[in-house]
Every structure is written in structure tokens, then in C-alpha cells.
Amino acid sequence: MADVPSNAPEHCPGTSSAQAGKSSSCQGCPNQAICASGATKAPDPAIEEIRVKMASVKHKVLVLSGKGGVGKSTISTQLAHGLAGDSTTEVALLDVDICGPSIPKMMGVEGEQVHQSGSGWSPVYVEDNLAVMSVGFLLSSPDDAIIWRGPKKNGMIKQFLRDVDWGQVDYLIVDTPPGTSDEHLSVVQYLCGAGVDGAIIVTTPQEVSLQDVRKVIRFCEKVGLPVIGVVENMSGFLCPKCKTMTQIFPPTTGGAEKMCLDMGLSFLERVPLDPRIGKSCDEGRAFLMDVADSPAAAAYRNIVRRVTEYCASRRHQGDAD
């Protein structure tokens, strides 16, 4: 059962919404009576199906930020590459940014297709132990725009979580769009049965970004999502010629570290700006491996280590319970 029936009017609030059957757009909809009865607001059966599906996935990590363009997808891809650097670790990367999917390009698998098999959608494999899924694989041309309202995006996310055949996976990393809206609520709700290990929050140093990121931290509190820690990205730029460090995005209010201190969160790492990161992403190459001796790569490796440690400690806690 999709969140929006195919015969619903354009502005359908979604069958599980509090407005279901009551909003002005429900007038005349053939499903209005059943929606208004409340029957559709029962927990979505997909939550249980997703829990069963996710039993083969050990750890689930979300990458979030209230602000756009701070490097969520870059951090997600480097984290995926870093974890998959150990050939015994199976890694999956899911891109739930429906309107702006960047993961296929950054992973160098743009233009690939997703295949349907008996056990669901087969993800695209970047390495033997690194699988990727994104709405980008479902588009026919790079010009294709997905102009979808919330309920339709939610349906897609549900399919991604329920119908992708990931197989045995150690880490599932979920890259999200900016904000605190449909996509985020859906991921968290659909995964509530399966359980999420936690979220990595990405920000840039300046207050304009931090103020959006504090909202996303409030969101995590509201929905009971543990925060693994905060990454400060684009933290200073080292001029390749004179080696002077410039804070292009100045941390006027103390940056992410101060915010973590104030809010009682772990500060994971500072990643500097490096023109080679953007270039690697554009070319779909793994920066972490290509320029392994750079300060940014060292920062990424540290993030990978912190995430592994966090997940391992959660596993132990889980065993003790």
C-alpha cells in the first residue's frame, strides 16, 4: 500500500497523514471514507517488512545536515570507500536525495541501470563489497527532473528500503537531502522497527550553517535518533602556493566544536577544503585512495575509525541487553 493511492487527487496529504480524509483536497476522492475512518493510520505494514529485510544489515548510519551543500554526499562516499577499504566488510550506500541525487556521479557509476530480480532491485556495485542505490539510476537522462511532492518521495524511499536486495551488509550508509522534512521523517519512520545506529551530522564552520544544523539536532532529539557526532567540513583552505590557511567560511561563533561542547555532542573531525576533493567527486574517483597522504584524507580516515568504534560499542551494548 503506497502512501498515496494512484487514484488520489494531486494534493493528497498521504493516507497515513493526520489530514487523511479531512483535507480540502480529499473532497471527492474515492478513498476519502476509508482515510477518514482512521484505518489507514495504523502502523504501515512496510515497517515490519523493512525490519525483516534489514535483519541482514548489521549497522545503519544516516548522514544528515539541515544545510545544503555542506558535503553530506562527499562525506557519505568517503565513508563508504573508507569502510569498504577492508575487503571483508560489506558496505551499502543508499541515496535518498530524490530531487538532487549526486551519489551516482561521485561514485563513478552514473548512467548505470538497476536490474530487477526475484529478490528485489539489484543495487549497482562500485566494488565487490560496495553497493550503491539512488534514484539517479532510474532516470533516463541527466536532464530528467523529479518534480515530486512529499508523498511520492516517501513511496520511493519505502521501496528503496524494502525492495532493494542488499544481501549481507555490515554497514548501510544513508545519504539524505538537506532539511528536516518528508525524506527524513520517512527514513526514520520506516527504519524504526529495524533500528538505526545513529546519525553523522555535517556542517560548515559558519553560523549561517550551524543555525540550520541545530535544527537538525533538535529533529534527532524529537525522533529519538542518536547522534554519532558532528563533522565540520570546508574547515579552512590551505593555499597550495604560499601554504597560508584561510578560513573562507569563518567560524564566527566558534564553529562545530563549540556547538558540540554546548550541546553535549561528540565532535568527530575537521575536514579542510581541498580542490582535489571536488575534482575526484566530479570524476567519480575515490579521493580517500587517490590522494591518501593529504590532510583531508587523514580526516576522513579518522571519521571512518570513529564510526566503526561507535558501531562496535553499540553492538556490545546490544549483546549485553
Least gap, CB of 303 to other proteins (angstroms): 19
Annotated binding site: 12, 26, 29, 35, 66-73, 239, 242
SS3 sequence of the chain: CCCCCCCCCCCCCCCCCCCCCCCHHHCCCCCHHHHHHCHHHCCCHHHHHHHHHHHHEEEEEEEECCCCCCCHHHHHHHHHHHHHCCCCCCEEEEECCCCCCCHHHHCCCCCCCCEEECCEEECEEEECCEEEEEHHHHCCCCCCCCCCCHHHHHHHHHHHHHHECCCCEEEEEEECCCCCCHHHHHHHHHCCCCCCCEEEEEECCCHHHHHHHHHHHHHHHHHCCCEEEEEECCCCEECCCCCCEECCCCCCCCHHHHHHHHHCCCEEEECCECHHHHHHHHHCCCHHHHCCCCHHHHHHHHHHHHHHHHHHHHHHHHHHC
**Residue 143 or 321 with smaller CB distance to other proteins:** 143
**Residue 26 or 169 with smaller CB distance to other proteins:** 26
**Residue 51 or 214 with smaller CB distance to other proteins:** 214
Give the contacts of 247 (CB within 8 A, at least 6 positions apart): 205, 235, 236, 237
Least gap, CB of 113 to other proteins (angstroms): 18
Annotated binding site for [4Fe-4S] cluster: 12, 26, 29, 35, 239, 242
How many residues are listed for the chain in this entry? Answer: 321
**Residue 118 or 264 with smaller CB distance to other proteins:** 264
Least gap, CB of 308 to other proteins (angstroms): 27
**Residue 80 or 281 with smaller CB distance to other proteins:** 281
Annotated binding site for ATP: 66-73
Least gap, CB of 277 to other proteins (angstroms): 9
Least gap, CB of 319 to other proteins (angstroms): 33
Least gap, CB of 251 to other proteins (angstroms): 9
**Residue 82 or 178 with smaller CB distance to other proteins:** 178
